[in-house]
Structure 1
Amino acid sequence: MTAATPDYRLLAALLGVVQILTWGSSFYLLAILAPPIVQDTGWSAFAVTGGISIALATSALMAGTVGREINRRGGRLVLCAGVGVMILGLVALALAPSLPVYILAWVVIGAAMAATLYEAAFSMLSQVFGGEARRAITSLTLIGGFSATICWPLSALLVEAIGWRGTCAAYAGLHLLVTLPICRFGLPQPAVKTPETAEATDDTDDTAPIPWRDPRLLAVAIAGVCLVFIFSAMAMHLPSLLMAQGHTLAQAAALGAVIGPSQVGARLIEMLGGGRHSPVTTMVVSTLCVAAGLLSLSLSAPAALCLITYGMGLGLWTIARGTVPLGLFGPKPYAATMARLALPVLTVSALAPLVGLGMLPALGPTGTLLALTAIACVPLALSLFLWRQRPR
C-alpha cells in the first residue's frame, strides 16, 4: 500500500479508460476489422480471425511472467510496458505486408494483453488497496464493460474513413497520447517487496501463487474454464440458436443486444451493494444466472427474459473472477495467483471458437443449449462448494 491511498473511484476511472482502449484495440478489434482485412489482402477469413486466438494463446503463456513482474516491480510499470508493447503490435499490424507478419503482430499484441487487461489491472488494485480492493475492482468492471459499446462504433467509423491499416495506426496513436500517459502519470506506484527486503524480513515468499493442490484454486479455475467456453460458444451461435426457435435475424440481433445492458446493470447493482456480501456469493449468483438463463432458453421460455438473466450472470462473473481469489486467498499472493488462473482460462478462450464451430452442426440447436446448460452446472456446483469454504 502507498503512504497515501488514492480514491478508489478515481483510480477505477483511470484504469477504466485504459481497459476500454486496450480491450477495444485487441480482443474486440477483429469483430469490425476482419472483413475489410480479408477483402483488402485476400488472406483467408480463418487465418485473419485466427489472429485473436493466437493473441489469447500468447497471453496465456505470458500470464505467469506478468504476475511475477507485477509482484517485483509494481502494477504501474507493468501496465506502462504492456501499453508500449501494444503500440508496437498495432503498428506492426498496420504495416503488415504479409500473413506471417500479420500473425507475428498478433503474438506481440497477445503479450501486451497479458500485461494490460483485467488480470493485470485487478492485480494493481490489489497492491494499492489490499483486502479492500473489491470496491475498486467492481467499479473498474462497470466502466470497462463499455469497451465494445464504445470501440466497435469507433472502429467502424475509422475503417470507413482511413481503412483498416489506418484504424490500427489510430489506436496506436490513442495509446501513445492517452493510455500511456494515464498509466505513467495517473496511476500510483505501490510499494513492492524487493528481493533484498524479502530476504531481510523472512525466508518465505508470501507473494507466491496458491498451489494447484488447494481445492479452492482448482474450483475457481475449473469454473472459469467452463464459463469462458460457454461465453465463447454463445457469442458464436446465439443468432443461429434464436433463429432455430422461430425468430428472424433482425429479432435475434435485437434480442442479443439485451445482454450488454444486462451485464452493466448487474455490475451496477453489485457496486451499489457496497460489498455487504461475500465475493463468493456474487459467484454463486453469477453461475446460477448463467445456468438458469441457458436452461430456460433451451425450454423455449421468453428469449428476452432468458438472455437478461444470462447477461446478468456474465456481468457478475467479470466481478467474481477478480474478487473471489482476493476474498479466498488475500492480497499478498493475488497477482501470482491471478496469473496462474489466467493460463487455463486464456488457453480455453483461444481454443473455444474452434471447438464451438462443431457444436451446432453436431448437436443441433436444442442439443447445443442443453450441452451448454450441463456445462454451466459445473461452475454452479463449484461456487456452492466455495461458498461453504469462504472465510467467515
Structure 2
Amino acid sequence: MTRAARLRTVSALGIIEIFAWGTSFYLIAVLAGPIGAETGWSGAAISAGVSLGLLVSGLFASLVGRRIERHGGRPVLAVGMVLLACGLGLLGLSRSLPAYYLAWAIMGAGMSCGLYDAAFSTLGRIFGRDARSAITQLTLWGGFASTVCWPLSAWLVEAVGWRSACFAYAGFHLVVTLPLALLAIPRAEPPPRGVPRRPLPVAAAVPVTDMRFLCLATAGVVLAMLSTIWSVHFVSILTATGYGVPAAIAIGTLIGPAQVAARVLEMMGRGRHHPVWTMLASTSAVVAGFSGLLFGLPAALAMIAWGAGNGLWSIARGALPLSVFGSEGYARTMGRLATPVLISSAAAPSIGALMKDVLTADAMLGVMATASIIPLAMALVLLRHKRPVLAV
C-alpha cells in the first residue's frame, strides 16, 4: 500500500473513531441532564443505558473479532455505523425506559463493531506486522473525540434539543461515517485468480491460559474499571479533598491534552522499542497519578500523569497483542481481550457508586491507587514473558 493510501485509510478511520466514540461512550456526559430534566428519569437510570451498551459491546466483541479475521474490517465497520445510527434514532424517539435501554443495546452492538478494538483489528488485518504505527496514529485522532463532540453536543442540545441532537448524529453516521467505512477502508484480500472461492481458514485462538494473554486481560480489566470510575466520580472526589468544582473541572480538562501529548511522544519513537515498554510507561504513569493524589501532590500534576498513562495504554493494548502473538489471528485475539474489558467497564459505574457510598474520598483514592499497581505488575511479568512473535 502506498503512503498516500495508508494515510487515507488511517484518516478515514480517525474520523470514524472520533464520532463513533463521541456519539456513544461520551454522549451521555452532555445529554444526561437534558434527558433527566425532560423525562424525570433518575441519573442512575440514565447512566444504566451506557452500562448496558458496554455490556452488549463486550458480549459481541469475540464475534466481531472473528468476522474481521475472516472478512476484513470494512463490512464490520459499516454495520457498526448503521447500528449506531439506528440506536441514536431510537434514542431520540424514546419516551420510556424500555425504549431507551433498547436504543442503548443497539448502540452497544454498534460500539462493538466501531470502536477501538474493531478499528485496531481492521488495521492489523490490513497492515499485518506493520500496523503498529497506524494504530498509534489512529489513537491521535481518537484522542479528540471528547474535545470535538462534547462542545458539539452541547451546542446541538442548546440549539435544537437533545432528541434532535440524536437525530443529527444518526444522520451524520449515515451520510459521513458509513460512506467513509465503505469507500476508504480497503476490502479484504480476494483469493488469487483461478483459485476456487471458499471460506478463509481462521487462525487458532490464543489460549486463555497463556500467561501473556492473562496479563493483558487483567491489566485491561483493571485499567478500564479505574478509567470509568474516575471519569464518573473525579469531580466529587476532588471536591471532597478540598478543591472547588470549577477547579476540579479545570483539572479534569488536563487529561485530554496529556493523552495526546503522550501519544505524540510514542509516535516520535517510530516503533524502535517493544510495545511492552509502552505498557510499562503507561502503567507506571497511572500509578504515579493515583499515588500523587493520595499523598497530596498537586492534582494538576497527578492528572497529567494519569492522562499520559491512559493515552499510552490505548496504544499498548492495540500494539502489544500484535507484537506478542503475531498478526495471524490478531482480530480474534483483540475480540477475546475486549470481552472482559468491556463487561468490566459496564460494571464499573455501579462499583464506583458503591465505593462512594461506603468510603471516604481518601479511602477511595487509596483503593484505586492500590488497584493501579496490578496493571504495573502485569507489565513487569510481560517484560519477562513477552517472547515476541514478530518485530513490530
Task: Give, in angstroms, the shift of residue 88 of structure 1.
Answer: 1.2
Pairs within 5 Å for 1:81-230: 81-191=79-189, 207-230=203-226
- For the 8 Å contact 1:71–1:193, the answer to whether it is kept is no
Structure 2 vs 1, CA of residues 6 and 68 (structure 1 numbering), >3 Å: closer, same or farther? farther
Task: Give, in angstroms, the shift of residue 209 of structure 1.
Answer: 2.3
Structure 2 vs 1, CA of residues 207 and 149 (structure 1 numbering), >3 Å: closer, same or farther? same
SS in 1 for 2:272: coil
Q: Structure 2: how far apart are the matches of 1:346 and 1:16?
A: 21
Task: Give, in angstroms, the shift of residue 239 of structure 1.
Answer: 1.8
Pairs within 5 Å for 1:1-392: 7-191=5-189, 207-391=203-387
Structure 2 vs 1, CA of residues 245 and 186 (structure 1 numbering), >3 Å: closer, same or farther? same
SS in 1 for 2:208: coil
Q: Structure 2: how far apart are the matches of 1:193 and 1:371?
A: 53
Q: Structure 2: how far apart are the matches of 1:342 and 1:30?
A: 22
- For the 8 Å contact 2:8–2:184, the answer to whether it is kept is no
Q: Percent identity?
A: 46
- For the 8 Å contact 1:72–1:192, the answer to whether it is kept is no
Equivalent residue letter for 1:91? G
- For the 8 Å contact 1:8–1:135, the answer to whether it is kept is no
Q: Structure 2: how far apart are the matches of 1:96 and 1:370?
A: 40
Gapped regions of structure 2 (runs ≥ 5): none
Structure 2 vs 1, CA of residues 245 and 48 (structure 1 numbering), >3 Å: closer, same or farther? closer
Q: Structure 1: how far apart are the matches of 2:289 and 2:94?
A: 42
Q: Structure 2: how far apart are the matches of 1:193 and 1:27?
A: 37
Task: Give, in angstroms, the shift of residue 185 of structure 1.
Answer: 0.6
Task: Give, in angstroms, the shift of residue 217 of structure 1.
Answer: 0.2
Q: Structure 1: how far apart are the matches of 2:252 and 2:2?
A: 44
Equivalent residue letter for 1:45? G
Q: How many residue pairs align between the two structures? A: 386
Normalised to the residue count of structure 1, the TM-score between the two structures is 0.94
Gapped regions of structure 1 (runs ≥ 5): none
Structure 2 vs 1, CA of residues 345 and 166 (structure 1 numbering), >3 Å: closer, same or farther? same
Normalised to the residue count of structure 2, the TM-score between the two structures is 0.94
RMSD value, Cα: 1.9
Structure 2 vs 1, CA of residues 7 and 276 (structure 1 numbering), >3 Å: closer, same or farther? farther
